[in-house]
Structure 1
Amino acid sequence: MVDAIMTDGATLPFLQGGGECGALLRQMDWSRHPLGHPAEWPDELAVLAGIVLASAQPMFIVWGPDRITLYNDAYSVIAGKRHPAGLGRPFHEMWFDIWNDVGPLIAAAYQGVGTAKDELQLMLHRNGYPEKAHFTFSYNPVRDRSGQVVGMLCACLETTASVALRDAQQAERRDFLQVFEVALGAVALLDGPDHVFRFVNSDYVRLVGRHDIIGKTVREGLPEIVDQGFIAILDKVFRTGESHIGRNIPVTLQSSPDAAPREHFLDYLFHPIRDDAGAITGIFVQALDVSERVDEEKRRQMILGELSHRMKNQLAMIQAIVNQTLRTATDLATASEVLGDRIRVLSGAHDILIRGHADSTMIGDIVAKVLALHQESGQARFRVEGPPLSIASRPALSLSLVLHELSTNAVKYGALSNNAGLVHIRWEVVSDVAGNDRFVLTWTEEGGPPVIAPRTLGSGSRLIRAGLSGTTDCEVEIDYHPTGLLCRISADLRSVHTAN
């Protein structure tokens, strides 16, 4: 007869050690316990009990038809305030609050079917209040020599803290990605020394014109930038840990190999991303498309250059007006009056340019005002003919500038630079071979000095060749004939009427 009350490690070596749980098992009253005295336990249970008590990993045994629970010190931490009362008690009594979740798994184990779960979420009340916990475990059926399932062994690990940390990190990452999604400009996150796309926001997708770059290297996702120097800059940032800032940097992008290249100007930042140990793991990319700003600056510089050109032309024009006036005036009083009239005509020509936003005006009015300041008393320097024809605001402004350039050049170098030259201006409506009406204006000079074609084109010549703004299919022909300059401007008549 074995001791009905207590045992010890010397009597039963498989119960030796085991810390607190081992001591509790040795001190337990087994006389009326469903498992009986440990000395009478089957070999399978005795071996498993020794393994569980000696293990540093949380482990427990569920044994017999009553499903009695034996566990070690590591598992007692998981049990919370249900330890030590749960030791040696049926599993469903110890874990009544999660029995609906784990009961079917234990029943399966008793049917010989093992179960493995990874980070299973359970709602426990082990410490007197509800708490969400996560566990990774396996339920393994235990058989006797005859093959009959007599119990279950579980090795488990509580992953609540690691899951909470991971969830917090994922939430933080989601928050960051949400911020990056609405951040100003194009944003991308690159991983590793090969610069693999991990994240791009919608502005980045719109900029590069590609939706399939996640998981690809920069070389694979944007092959068109390989030879533009950006890969070398990324490599340097990853190698040195030094940020790189670029401003007004041109980049050519293609949404596909068959697509037309698109030039953009970017302000951008490449900034290294570091892990907790300080090692560089990737690069943060942010870019602003400043193409419009760069284009606007170019336009501003062009306007300033054009303004400078206009000022020089106006000074030359005024000088020519003064010279013409003084050359033909009989006295200073007459010269003063005529000169004042011509300056006012020049001002009127500028008024036409300023009023270019009006819906339309008449071509004859534009020609008359621009040319009036070159008329000399008693001399017919211009022959003007053409039908009444309206012109919309945009081409009206262009025509004023073109006539202004032609007349200025005529005063400087052409038919108006002497006392004998003439300018013939004619406009008409003609039909092309397709039957479409076209507006045609011809400027013809004669009687001036021999014409020599310029070696280079100045801004005035480029303005003339630009034609009538807003019109369709505008063509400009300039013939530097030795006997006199010929300029012919042709454009679709409908667009001349409506190009506002």
Structure 2
Amino acid sequence: MSGLILMIASDVRDRQNHSVGRHGLWAMDDQRASMLQSTSECALLFQQFDWASSPLGPVDGWSPELRTLVDVTMNSLQPMLIVWGPEQIILYNDGYARMCGNRHPGGFGHPFRDLWYDIWDQVDPIISAAYAGHGTSMDDIEFIMHRNGFPEETHFAFSYTPVRDPTGAVLGMFCACTETTADVRLRREQVSERERLLRIFELSPAATAALTGPNHVFDFANAAFAAMIGDRDVIGRPAAEALPALAQAGLITSLDAVYRSGMPLTAHAMPLMLETDSAHTRGKRLIDLICQPMRDPSGAMAGILLQTQDVTEQLAEEEHRNLLARELAHRLKNQLAMVQAIVSQTLRSAGDITSARRALGDRLAVLGAAHDMIIKGGANTSTMAEVVAQMTQVHDDKLAPRIQVDGPPLRIAARPTLSLSLILHELATNASKYGALSVPSGRVQLNWDLSGPNRDRVEISWTEHAGPPVAMPQADGTGSKLIKAGLSGTQDCQVEIAFHPMGLHCRICADLKGFESEH
């Protein structure tokens, strides 16, 4: 820059020596009127300024270097600043004036330090380096300025260039600069917006990931997504490499189609073989999926936002609820048969009509309570003894009980309570119709206890004795399906039904944690 300035200044000096006319850069007959072609605010301010009383002196005595820089500065649209002489007097154009705030026009033609006194501790080393012959260039420098009467954070890109005379002595400094405060604020807002969105996605209960580029590279994955895939490290890796299960399910082809077309994709209950824990245990999961295309500011495809939800347990629970609903419908159809069995059993053991009426009313009331529990789904935690007692009051005889029960105190959560109540009533109903309770000599043994090496499982046993011969049915009815479905709310429930000639035996074994508490 200094070399260019010297070349221009030399040309001006030669033209002055040949008496350039009124239309030259610095015509001698009216220096300030003809030196500038610009009519900007700062150019007019320059023409009106009393330079004779300034340390720079009258304009006709200025060096060619300073005249050249003033002409370049006043005719430039880019903010420019000149600092000249040992007193560091400043001249600037309209672009730089806007950066001065309410300190313009007071700073024009005065020492540089007077203009930027509040940030002088930062500016002084840079201007001192320029006067020492060392240029400085920065893409971003931050100042806390009071240029408008209040503190504000500002940012600038600039270069300070020493200006020398033909002997090499430094005469002053020239600066071309740009205020970047608005750009910095915009970048911060964009970063802040991105961080805010990332926080929203991170807290989202839906498993969310961002894929970038045509190879679908993982750029972000929230905690829910990491948990769904077994906390595997996927960031920075293409989807096909990070999660081979996606390719096996044909999902990579679908992602390619979304990226090419820009059209979203949704899928429900997509089966995926996923490693769902840190031990890389693979299991089939059912996934709801939304693939939403993402575009850059120009509108071009940038990536895909992937939102997923593991609905395996939800769908299993829905199926279980449907099974219970079907069973409820089945049981309602058999109400007359149940009532008939209750009436027959009551009348058979009653001594007179009055006691028969009382016992029959009690048992029908218990039957109604059992159905209330089924419909409500077990609103409160029950005990094993309460559920069993409810069943025996409906199906057994108080005076001559034929269902023998035995087991320790156990709590049952709401969901297992509903399932167990249905199962026991189903077993008792079948026993009343076809099994041990259908004949006077028949008996049932109902036991429950804790089992397993850590006593972390509950085992329930229903065994019929002295009833009519039983045989395995040709096909499972809705009641059998309900029994085999096991206890809702438990993670690991096993049901075994054996049709022995001497009587039916049913064994139910489930995890104690799911049996006793909701989770």
TM range (shorter): 0.5 to 0.7
Give the stretch that moved more between structures: 139-148 or 349-358.
Answer: 349-358
CA displacement at 1:154 relative to structure 2: 1.4
Flag the 1:309–1:91 CA change in 2: closer, same or farther, 3 A: same
Among candidates 121, 127, 135, match of residue 114 of structure 1: 135
CA displacement at 1:301 relative to structure 2: 0.5
Flag the 1:348–1:473 CA change in 2: closer, same or farther, 3 A: farther
- Cα distance in 1, alignment partners of residues 92 and 130 from structure 2: 18
Contact 2:78 2:177 in 1 (8 A): yes
Q: How many pairs were matched up?
A: 472
Unaligned stretches of 5+ residues in structure 1: 329-333, 376-381
Contact 1:81 1:127 in 2 (8 A): yes
CA displacement at 1:137 relative to structure 2: 0.6
Contact 2:286 2:311 in 1 (8 A): yes
CA offset digits 1:18-41 (Å, max 9, x no partner):
524667767877666544667766
User: 1:119-130 counterparts in 2 under 5 A?
Assistant: 119-124=140-145
Flag the 1:25–1:188 CA change in 2: closer, same or farther, 3 A: same
* Alignment RMSD: 5.9
CA displacement at 1:157 relative to structure 2: 0.9
- AA partner of residue 323 (structure 2): M
Report the equivalent of 2:112.
91
Flag the 1:176–1:470 CA change in 2: closer, same or farther, 3 A: closer
1:360 aligns with 2:379: no
Report the equivalent of 1:155.
176
- AA partner of residue 395 (structure 2): V
Contact 2:437 2:467 in 1 (8 A): no
CA displacement at 1:302 relative to structure 2: 1.5
1:65 aligns with 2:86: yes
Among candidates 453, 477, 490, match of residue 472 of structure 2: 453
Q: Secondary structure of 1:61's partner? A: strand
Among candidates 156, 160, 165, match of residue 135 of structure 1: 156
- AA partner of residue 454 (structure 1): P
- Cα distance in 1, alignment partners of residues 345 and 103 from structure 2: 115
Report the equivalent of 2:321.
300
Q: Secondary structure of 2:114's partner? A: helix
CA displacement at 1:303 relative to structure 2: 0.8
Report the equivalent of 1:487.
505
- Cα distance in 1, alignment partners of residues 263 and 177 from structure 2: 46
- AA partner of residue 86 (structure 2): P
Contact 2:25 2:36 in 1 (8 A): no
Report the equivalent of 1:331.
none
Contact 2:444 2:462 in 1 (8 A): yes
Contact 2:295 2:301 in 1 (8 A): yes
CA offset digits 1:104-151 (Å, max 9, x no partner):
221122234433333433355656776654321122334456654443
Contact 2:216 2:304 in 1 (8 A): yes
Report the equivalent of 1:379.
none
Report the equivalent of 2:24.
10
Contact 2:89 2:112 in 1 (8 A): yes
Among all aligned residue pairs of Structure 1 and Structure 2, give the percentage whose two residues are the same amino acid.
39
Q: Secondary structure of 1:19's partner? A: coil
- AA partner of residue 24 (structure 2): A
Among candidates 93, 96, 99, match of residue 75 of structure 1: 96
User: 1:176-325 counterparts in 2 under 5 A?
Assistant: 185=206, 191-195=212-216, 210=231, 218-219=239-240, 223-228=244-249, 230-244=251-265, 253-254=274-275, 258-261=279-282, 269-273=290-294, 279=300, 281-283=302-304, 294-316=315-337
TM-score, normalised to structure 2, is 0.63
Unaligned stretches of 5+ residues in structure 2: 1-15
- Cα distance in 1, alignment partners of residues 43 and 450 from structure 2: 111
Flag the 1:51–1:345 CA change in 2: closer, same or farther, 3 A: closer
- Cα distance in 1, alignment partners of residues 322 and 445 from structure 2: 35
- AA partner of residue 360 (structure 1): A
Report the equivalent of 2:395.
370
Give the stretch that moved more between structures: 399-408 or 56-65.
Answer: 399-408
